[in-house]
Structure 1
């Protein structure tokens, strides 16, 4: 049993300072690229691509949405795919073997769909094989991919049985994320307004998922560097993985990890990584929907203190609201509305702002305008837009 009286102690302030620095939020990392920034935060959530552009732009000095687009579709240093929690992410192309090896090794979650909707393990493998073959040398819309899957499997795969956005999706779509996690699928460039899917091997010749044990160990190390101190349960929540499995994974890496205490609660870091930041947490940021810092950092009750939990969390889920971050802690919400070349930004602080904080908010709104390549205007007042689904 660990003698907690001997554990290194970190305050919440220490933890915020470390995380802000490692995310490039206290100051952008010099000479960083979009792929470097995405690697540092262990993936950028990209269900809303403009939010991912802001997440990356905040961490890369002078970067704009055009730089993110260049990295994604021309330089190919980023890949748009299904990442942690089965959600759409941008990941560094150089790290895709690691991510595929780790994500494909996570045990499946408990079923949430009725038995007559679910695919059997054999059917899931059959659909993934059909997807793999269909996108090997093509960029297909979801309808084109659906037709290819049906032709290679059978009509059962396209039965419209999955409730989705007021309609029904074909059965096979419940394993799109699985195909991505196995390295068979990623997003291609849009065809007009339509999303396309393709194979990452088209621009990563020889790509293969890394061995599972190596990939999972490396992912724990990277996660703890970016989000530690953290617990196995928080790691499991970040991945949407079983808690017992995450605890066993941390136990298997015990020789590499060190227990610390954060304001009285135990958590883990990489062995030896216990030094606080040279400076305390500082700075004002306007983080977009589903920013990695907001989603990945715990404990929630410290990151979203007091009224922030009620205002900026959706049923305990982080990321549904863009947030005002002051010294590493959520202190408000904001919303941006684009109209042509103009960006109207409303910021709702949850506590009175000092004159310095008001000026910093103005500076951060200007930075949003630079990233999104439009002219911004800021209003301090209530945000009336609800959370993102």
Structure 2
């Protein structure tokens, strides 16, 4: 691994902003999801806003179509055990990266004394049921297996997370207020299924991650993947000379050799456009150290208890406030909460973005409020 140069924190900030598609947008949402190695989708409308920030004029209606009709995007449990949107063509990659790893629910069942053979038969039975139905929800599982325990019906995954980990299930369109799942062979029977090896898949995810969020530290990499430093080091070794060691403000970090050519063309932080990032935006999840992104004095306004991450106002590449949207009938109310007073010009730019948020949801903007 070659030694390279020292970057300033400002250079690292700008290159992450640019690589995230927040300056020059991606051609389409599927390309964006693939480039970002997934878009967190625990809250699906927030994933839609992440794509809206990175794809021209992207709408919530388009997201629905791509997920449930065209099925070019797929919603799976991925890195850190959280739901993400992925390009459907990356489904084999995401499966392979996690292959052989048991889920929380499998681990707990065996701790509780389930016989391994009986437990495997239970999972296989659930997979058959899923394959026999167009889609399934937890109410269907309760009907088919009245004795199923509540843990395996968990809204955080349960038996469906196990089937997803095994490459068999994905989220289908919800119905009647209930989440629904579909078997891969019913949902995308045309999808080529030739997963790479687990090591190859994880090396590829690291390649994409470093390209988007680099330069990154080992702590950043382990936090994003939810895996150990030993695993990260092994996957980096597979990338060989593609990876270079640099420093950011004097601290060691890793980047891709191919990304170094970005440096001469980087804009200044002051030239970065304002953004209204939604909750759990990928930019906010890419690194463990967030000092490049936010001042310590206001950190807890964004990263809240129970792992919640607020929607944020981004100015010159740094978090300058939070925002939210609420519905009033058919209209959208957008409330902006900057951490410090803003110029009239900046307020006008953010108000225009608030109107664009409403357009994303195909709603009129009822009001743009300011809380300062």
CA deviation after TM superposition for structure 1 residue 111, in Å? 10
Instruction: State the 1:349 CA deviation.
Output: 0.8
In structure 1, runs of 5+ residues without a counterpart are: 163-167, 383-389
Q: Which residue pairs with 1:285 in the alignment?
A: 275
Aligned CA distance change for structure 1 residues 97 and 87 (closer, same or farther; 3 Å): same
Q: Against the structure 1 CA distance between its residues 322 and 119, is the aligned structure 2 distance closer, same or farther, given a 3 Å change threshold?
A: farther
Answer whether contact 1:100 1:210 (CA < 8 A) is retained. no
Pair 210,260 (structure 1): closer, same or farther in 2 beyond 3 Å: same
CA distance in 2, matches of 1:241, 1:110: 18
Moved more, 49-58 or 173-182: 173-182
What is the Cα-based RMSD across aligned positions, in Å?
A: 3.0
Displacement of 1:41: 2.0
Name the residue aligned to 2:214.
Answer: 228
1:200 is aligned to 2:184: yes
Counterpart position of 1:387 = none
Task: List aligned pairs for 1:305-344, cutoff 5 A.
Answer: 305-315=295-305, 317=307, 320-344=309-333
For the Cα contact (< 8 Å) 1:233–1:246, is it kept in 2? no
Question: Which of 168, 173, 177 is the equivalent residue of 1:184?
Answer: 168
Does 2:213 correspond to 1:216? no
After superposition, the C-alpha distances for 1:62-102 in whole angstroms (9 at most, x for unaligned) are 12111111111111111122122222221110111111111
Q: Are 1:358 and 2:347 an aligned pair?
A: yes
1:36 aligns with 2:31: yes
Q: How many residues align?
A: 364
TM-score by length of 2: 0.87
Q: 1:14 to 1:343 in 2, by over 3 A?
A: same
* 1:129 counterpart residue number: 124
Cα-to-partner distance string for 1:281-340 (whole Å, 9 max, x where unaligned): 3111111111111112452222222223121112594x5211111122211111111122
Q: 1:229 offset after TM fit, Å?
A: 1.0
- Unmatched 5+ stretches in structure 2: none
Alignment counterpart, residue 11 of structure 2, candidates 14, 20, 28: 14
Q: Does 1:368 align with 2:357?
A: yes
- The 8 Å contact of residues 96 and 197 in structure 2, kept in 1 or not, is answered as yes
More helix by share: 2
Change (3 A) 1:173 1:288: closer
